[in-house]
């Protein structure tokens, strides 16, 4: 998608900012934002499927109906009341009109994640956005949840994005820092694609823990203090971290304190960042959401922040010829 996509995205973000500042009604705002998302081809098939799912839309936006509907026969509720706008979006979708002002904050939180999770742009995008740096994160996904509901991913990504945003501002938007999950793309061999992304990364972050499933009632995921229980490593992440170190990369490796004694011998000489995690109290989570948000308590918070900043800033200075 390259330059064209980046230009469209930049225009989209600016347009949404202007529209939000105009204090338009919630319905007009939702329609405008969704129309732009479809027009700019920002919504992936996975995201569209989420928006067609009633439970996802209830948990994410507090909606009583799926956001997207394809069938005209389902535009009315059981009492015959129209619950969707008659406009067609994306060539075949109707969008629910059942929005209220308090839901604007929930929609904006979702929109921010969608915009931030745009796939990495090509190297040619530097002509439009300046330098593009990719930070890839290997971790144990919450397989029973979408990426936008995965609290493990949210907790890592939000931490890294704060540092990335500070650097973007510091270098006056000459750079764009992309924070993505380390994963393969469709129509590619997984191993080859993972290796390519490891090679292309400005920074790699690996969380070695096998995260417990959040929706399995038969598995205890937290102790009495709400600290999450970790009992094993994720084998895929261990392999990826080993490959990265073998290739001469210097990744940030995260490990729960409870698993430190079980680290494989080949990695014991590497400096890990230890952490504990616990579930956030309900009052600290966004209103209306059912997502279980996580607090990460790093043993050396300042050291981790400096390590991430140094790794990224050294790449920035080299690319911008600031080391002379």
**DSSP labels for 267-304?**
GTTS--EEEEEEEPPGGGSPTT-----EEEEETTHHHH
Residue 220: pLDDT band (50, 70, 90) is: low
Determine the Cα–Cα distance for residues 10 and 317; give it in Å rounded to an integer.
24
Per-residue pLDDT tens digits for 289-312? 667 788 999 999 999 999 999 999
Q: What pLDDT, on a 0 to 100 scale, did the predictor assign at position 54?
A: 95
117 backbone dihedrals φ, ψ, rounded to 5°:
-95, 20
Percent of the chain scored above 90 by pLDDT?
42
At residue 283 the predicted structure's pLDDT band, cuts being 50, 70 and 90, is confident
Model confidence at 118, in pLDDT bands (50, 70, 90)? Answer: low
pLDDT at 99: 95
The rounded distance, in Å, linking the Cα atoms of 146 and 148 is 5
On the CB side of 113, CA atoms within 13 Å amount to: 19
Rg of the chain's alpha carbons, rounded to an integer?
A: 21
C-alpha 70/C-alpha 96 separation (Å) is 11
What average pLDDT does the chain have? 82
> In the prediction, which pLDDT does 35 show?
84
Mean pLDDT to the nearest integer, 45-65: 93
49 vs 16: which has the higher pLDDT: 49
| pLDDT for 60 | 95
Indicate the domain borders of the chain: 2-108, 130-319
| pLDDT in the model for residue 191 | 84
Least confident range from 113-122, 145-154, 219-228: namely 113-122
Judged by average pLDDT, the poorest of 110-119, 199-208, 258-267 is 110-119
Scanning the chain, the segments in alpha helix (DSSP H) are: 2-21, 26-39, 45-51, 54-61, 104-116, 126-129, 151-170, 190-200, 235-246, 301-319
Is residue 156 over pLDDT 60? yes
Task: Determine the topology of domain 130-319 in CATH.
Answer: Rossmann fold (3.40.50)
Please write the tens of the pLDDT for every residue from 126-144.
433 456 788 999 999 887 6
So what's the pLDDT on residue 279?
84
């Amino acid at each position: 998608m390259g330059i064209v996509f980046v230009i469209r995205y930049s225009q989209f973000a600016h347009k949404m900012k202007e529209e939000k500042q105009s204090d338009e009604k919630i319905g007009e705002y939702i329609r405008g934002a969704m129309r732009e998302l479809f027009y700019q081809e920002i919504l992936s098939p996975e995201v569209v499927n989420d928006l067609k799912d009633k439970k996802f839309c209830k948990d994410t936006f507090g909606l009583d109906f799926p956001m997207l509907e394809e069938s005209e026969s389902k535009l009315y509720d059981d009492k015959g009341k129209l619950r969707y706008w008659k406009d067609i979006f994306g060539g075949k979708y109707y969008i629910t009109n059942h929005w209220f002002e308090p839901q604007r904050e929930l929609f904006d939180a979702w929109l921010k994640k969608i915009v931030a999770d745009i796939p990495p742009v090509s190297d040619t995008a530097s002509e439009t956005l300046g330098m593009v740096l990719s930070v890839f994160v290997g971790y144990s996904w919450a397989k029973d949840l979408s990426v936008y509901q995965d609290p493990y991913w949210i907790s890592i990504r939000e931490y890294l994005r704060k540092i990335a945003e500070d650097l973007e501002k510091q270098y006056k938007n000459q750079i764009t820092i992309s924070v993505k999950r380390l994963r393969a793309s469709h129509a590619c061999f997984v191993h080859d694609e993972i290796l390519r992304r490891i090679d292309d990364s400005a920074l790699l972050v690996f969380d070695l823990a096998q995260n417990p499933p959040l929706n399995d009632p038969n598995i205890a995921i937290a102790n009495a203090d709400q600290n999450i229980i970790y009992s094993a490593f994720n084998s895929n992440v261990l392999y990826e971290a080993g490959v990265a170190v073998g290739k001469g990369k210097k990744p940030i490796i995260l490990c729960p304190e409870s698993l430190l004694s079980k680290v494989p011998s080949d990695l014991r000489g590497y400096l890990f960042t230890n952490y504990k995690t616990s579930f956030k109290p309900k009052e600290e989570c966004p209103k209306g959401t059912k997502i279980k948000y996580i607090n990460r308590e790093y043993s050396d918070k300042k050291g981790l922040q400096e390590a991430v900043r140094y790794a990224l800033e050294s790449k920035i200075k080299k690319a911008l010829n600031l080391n002379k």
